[in-house]
Amino acid sequence: MMDDFIRDLHHLQKADSLIGKIWLKLFARQFGLFAFAGLIAALGFTMTNIAGFYGLQAPLGPVWAAVVVAIGDFILAAVVVQAARNSEPGPEMALALDTRKMAIEAIQADARDIKIAIDTFGQDIRDTKDAIAGFVQNPLDATVQNLLIPAATSIIKGLGKAATTSEA
């Protein structure tokens, strides 16, 4: 009973560890993608600054090329951010959550079994205490209940069987 309980606790620990690893992996991937998107956005902002500078210096040529590059950088950063937002843990997360759920259910069943065993043990102790208290308070009554009544019952049953075998 206790071995099952400990085994189920071990399964729960493994499932929780697996879930934690999956989430950590997901967060690391998202962080990397967000950092990359931030770098691209910084490059786009730099290009926008350069484009503004060139815009003030020369009427059209190199400015529009820098603006187009900056807009491309911003669009690329937006795509990477969207990809990071849409990242999901994958099918292994559902399996880990199912394993965790089964481990919790098994632990609850084991806990119910342990509670029943403890309640039964407690009732046995109370019954023993009552029997001892009854014997101490009235030893003759307890002797009659525990010895004479069963003896008389078996004698009566024995006589009843003897009578039926002699009649046959």
Question: What global pTM score does this model have?
Answer: 0.43
In-domain check, residue 155: no
Q: By the 8 A CB rule, do 73 and 49 touch?
A: no
Query: What per-residue confidence (pLDDT) applies to 140?
Result: 65
27-51 average pLDDT score: 84
Say how many domains are in the chain. 1
Measured from the Cβ of residue 9, the count of other Cβ atoms closer than 10 Å reads: 14
In-domain check, residue 166: no
In-domain check, residue 35: yes
**What is the distance in angstroms between the CA of the first residue and the CA of the last residue of the chain?**
53
In-domain check, residue 91: yes
pLDDT digits (tens, 9 = 90+) for 96-147: 778 778 878 888 888 888 888 888 888 888 888 887 777 667 666 666 666 7
